[in-house]
Structure 1
Amino acid sequence: MRGKPITGISILLAIIMICTFSTTLADEENIWNGYDVQILNTYDIQLVGQNSAIEINEDKLIYNGEYVIKNLTQNTLEAILGLPSNNLENIQITEKGNPVKYYNRNKSYIQDRYPSDTLPNASKWHTASLWFKANETKVINVRYESKLKNDSKGMYSIRYHKNKDLVYSDASTIVLSLYDFYPYNVLDTIGITEEKTVLSGNKRLTMEVNKGSEILGLDYELVDKLSVDRFDFSSDKKLKNIAASFRKKDYESVNTLCDEYLNNPTDPTFNSNQIKYIKAEAYRKQADFSKYVEYIKDLNYNMLYPSRLKYKILYDLDQTIEKDVSDLELLDIMKTLQTQAKEDNEYINKWMETAGKNYIEVVEIIEQERPEQNVEKESIIDKTIALFKLESLMEKIKGFKYLSIIFIVISFITGYLLGRRKKKRKNTISYYKFHR
């Protein structure tokens, strides 16, 4: 009798495990792996130098590599060059500007003819043949393109593997250029020299690979794009129109449409914080920074999509205030966001600290240096006025408008306080005589 429930639970667990494994496998398959050119058939001809540039624009990758190859012997030798392929397109191999013919090969072809434990485990290869005279050095250029895929969470991952047989590792330079990119787009890096990371004014983030690193790794997320695409997830036409107007850079329409929707929301599942953010972003695009800051202050940053959108806000605020530390509320927001970035080990925190931008310390220093509220001791009259809540009257003394009333009130208070004192002598006549 109890076998059926147990069987049902087992089946359910099996389904969950299969789904989890499938998702993980799919995400791993979306990691783009790139490789240096390999010399497949001989050790007498070797790579002695390399200069490579990898360019990424959203989900498009372009590779340009220059390889210096030298024949180390006194003999004329043939070198079979192999280029592992991961969905490479528009491949060009040239020497002195002249195209070099290459052939498409599968994994088994390479394993059968050039067995080696050090070769990359690639399913496809491209091979080319070059002849070298005694001690001859040649320079070949390799160019290709590739389409990158994101995982189920919208993250893109690339891994570029350097040739371990490069004779002089110091002669290798690999530069990664990310177009229309900012530090908040980056989740993590591998093998990057932080000190040489540069953000140019043309929205280009440039990174250089460590000389001693054998792999370049980058995980990134198109935060800006995802924040707008979120509107298209809804079936509501009003929300879709907001996204369409934003993509057209019609920011006046964005503000109008956002106001109309906020006054009359029609999709109960859509978070209003996303709308307030896109409205703030429209103001930022129009360089209306006061309005931008006004709306940013009103956001619940943990309710935004994607969740890392708050780090874009941190970066934008940093660029907006430009070392203006007068707005303590804004600085406190930036401190909170940078603290979260630090706790989450986000790249933007590393970048900001390297650039000398640490709002956690800035706020702490301001709080330490801020003088304590040195309020002068109140006089008896001040306390009395405060007790009877007559501050408003005192503010009007400057204009002498209620001067007569103030004198009457003060006289009454003075008489009341003195009248309660005990008589020291029987024949002492009090200041005021009250008839009851």
Structure 2
Amino acid sequence: MKIKLSIIFLIVALLNFPLLYADSDNLGYEGYDFYFLNGFDIDVASKNIFIEVDEDKITFSGDYILSNQTEKIIEVVFGLPMDNIENLIITEKSNPIKATRRNRGYIEKNYISEHLPIIEKWSTSGLWLKANENRLINIKYDSKTVNDSKGIYSFIYENNITPGNIINSKVYITFKNFKPYNIINVYNMEVERMAYNIDQTFLNGSINGRAIRGDYELIDKLAIDRLSYSTSKTLKNISNLFHAKDYEGTILLCDDYIKNPSDSSVDIN
């Protein structure tokens, strides 16, 4: 681990990275809670949101306790925006709940839609709750984000369902294969705990606002990839050796290049 970190510092020393902020017009992944489509008789007693970020891959998992506080049986129909969403799984106690793909026209025609975001692709599911019954459901899916013109990735989680007791709403974010310095900003999250374990950074806390947004840049990958596009054979070979996990060779070649950046004799065919 120490060898790898030393290499990163050497490579970053070869490059010039200004302080960056994400482009405001490119927000990457945007995820939502579900929306109630056929009425508002059901309460959300609590929710726990888990967001896992691994480079450009986003995994969302949400646990929601739905509560019927009336004296009658209620059918709840809920919809989930599906733009840029893959591998959707909805379960209750590990039992799958059927999800049906819909388009925006169908949603607007059949349900109350004034409060909904303008999303083209949707998924709908239905669930019956007995009088005074609580049911725990889990919604899980995958998505991807893209980096902007400055190499910065972003994700947004829209906090569109708020339980009556805000204490019962928590969010947990895991940045896999990340160092803390890869994370630029996390907005609208009141962080209660932050931990770093090998190549993972963990945040957990409460949602402080309508949406949580995270900006991050993969400095290590950005540095290596930038070397790959160089016209210098030496810099390209530094990148190749690093990707081949020849860390000792990478360090030696970095040292040679730093000492003699214009010496073509350090180029390796």
TM-score by structure 2 length? 0.82
Aligned to 1:158: 155
Cα distance in 2, alignment partners of residues 166 and 118 from structure 1: 17
Deviation at 1:29, TM superposition (A): 4.7
Deviation at 1:190, TM superposition (A): 0.8
Tell me whether 1:147 sits opposite 2:144 in the alignment.
yes
Are 2:36 and 2:77, in contact at CA under 8 Å, matched by a contact in 1?
A: yes
1:134 aligned to 131, 142, 159, which one? 131
Question: Which SS does the other structure have where 1:56 is aligned?
Answer: strand
Deviation at 1:36, TM superposition (A): 0.8
Q: Which structure has the highest strand share of the two?
A: 2
Letter in 2 for 1:46: D
Are 1:170 and 1:211, in contact at CA under 8 Å, matched by a contact in 2?
A: no
| Equivalent residue runs for 1:220-231 within 5 Å | 220-231=216-227
In structure 2, do the counterparts of structure 1 residues 209 and 28 end up closer, same or farther at CA, with 3 Å as the change threshold? farther
In structure 2, do the counterparts of structure 1 residues 213 and 264 end up closer, same or farther at CA, with 3 Å as the change threshold? closer
Question: Which SS does the other structure have where 2:49 is aligned?
Answer: strand
Cα distance in 2, alignment partners of residues 49 and 264 from structure 1: 59
> Identity across aligned pairs (percent)?
38
Q: Deviations over 1:196-254 (max 9, x none)?
A: 24122323222234344221110111111111111111133332111011122312211
Deviation at 1:121, TM superposition (A): 2.9
Aligned to 1:58: 55
- Greater relative contact order: 1 or 2 (C-alpha under 8 angstroms, separation 6 or more)? 2
Deviation at 1:87, TM superposition (A): 1.0
Structure whose CA Rg is larger: 1
Tell me whether 1:239 sits opposite 2:255 in the alignment.
no
In structure 2, do the counterparts of structure 1 residues 211 and 30 end up closer, same or farther at CA, with 3 Å as the change threshold? closer
1:216 aligned to 194, 199, 212, which one? 212
Consecutive unaligned residues of structure 1, counting only runs of 5 or more, are 1-25, 268-436
Q: Which runs of 4+ in 1 moved over 6 A?
A: none
Question: Which SS does the other structure have where 2:201 is aligned?
Answer: strand
1:202 aligned to 198, 219, 222, which one? 198
Question: Which SS does the other structure have where 1:193 is aligned?
Answer: strand
State which drifts further: 60-69 or 246-255: 246-255
In structure 2, do the counterparts of structure 1 residues 213 and 27 end up closer, same or farther at CA, with 3 Å as the change threshold? closer
Deviation at 1:170, TM superposition (A): 2.0
Tell me whether 1:39 sits opposite 2:30 in the alignment.
no
Consecutive unaligned residues of structure 2, counting only runs of 5 or more, are 1-22, 265-269
Letter in 2 for 1:105: R
In structure 2, do the counterparts of structure 1 residues 127 and 68 end up closer, same or farther at CA, with 3 Å as the change threshold? same
Q: Which structure has the highest helix share of the two?
A: 1
Number of residues paired by the alignment?
Answer: 241
Aligned to 1:124: 121
Aligned to 2:106: 109
Deviation at 1:125, TM superposition (A): 1.2
TM-score by structure 1 length? 0.52
Deviation at 1:70, TM superposition (A): 1.4
Deviation at 1:264, TM superposition (A): 6.1
| Equivalent residue runs for 1:35-434 within 5 Å | 35-194=32-191, 196-261=192-257, 262-263=259-260, 265=262
Aligned-pair Cα RMSD in Å: 2.1
